[in-house]
Structure 1
Amino acid sequence: MGCIENLPYEMILPLGASFKECREYVEKNYSEFWYVDPGYRIFDEYLIGLPPIALGIDGNRIIFPYTKPCHGTYLLAVEDADETTRVRKTARKKK
């Protein structure tokens, strides 16, 4: 896909959220979540942050922290069945 900004996303936590706030929000608000390390690719973009990075899944929606260099981090939700399936196959369940 490429640029996150070109995806139809929903902003869950606003710009300026910390990595810890994003992880805690995902763990508290989603019954299915997975962990990845910095450098994990999602929608052809590499995630940056402090490990472990929590990715929530709600149906076909992926909830993930995205850091826009020079701007900050925010928590996004994007609906994509293929990417959701890939996360389930490649991420780990526990910290």
Structure 2
Amino acid sequence: MGCIELMDYEILLSDISFKEGREFIRRNFKDVHEVEPGYKLFDVYLIGIPPIVIGVENDHVIFPYVKPCHGTFVLKIEDREEVERLRAKR
């Protein structure tokens, strides 16, 4: 893909700190994965304060997305392949 903004996504939270996004994901999703900054998700390298927490719910990936000059968001995107790749990483 390469551009999150061109994907079909749902904004779960906006105008938050990275820590608030991490806590939201841990609190609201059972299947949680920790990755380091630079982890490639949807052909985009994630940036943020380690660990970066990614939630999985069915075929959806829930993750903090930092858009420079705009802040941090928690996004939800459906993508079975990314879910399988995250689960295989364990």
Q: Deviations over 1:13-56 (max 9, x none)?
A: 01x21111011001100011000010001000011000111100
Unaligned runs of 5+ in 2: none
Counterpart in the other structure of 2:16: 17
> What is the CA–CA distance in structure 1 between the aligned matches of 2:16 and 2:47, rounded to whole Å?
14
The alignment's TM-score, normalised by the length of structure 1, stands at 0.91
Moved over 6 A (4+): none
> What is the CA–CA distance in structure 2 between the aligned matches of 1:19 and 1:56, rounded to whole Å?
14
Higher normalized strand content (fraction of residues):
2
What RMSD over aligned residues (CA atoms) do the two structures have, in Å?
Answer: 0.9
Q: Does residue 7 in structure 1 map to residue 7 in structure 2?
A: yes
> What is the CA–CA distance in structure 2 between the aligned matches of 1:73 and 1:89, rounded to whole Å?
27
> What is the CA–CA distance in structure 1 between the aligned matches of 2:26 and 2:71, rounded to whole Å?
21
Q: CA deviation at 1:87?
A: 1.2
> What is the CA–CA distance in structure 2 between the aligned matches of 1:6 and 1:13, rounded to whole Å?
18
The alignment's TM-score, normalised by the length of structure 2, stands at 0.96
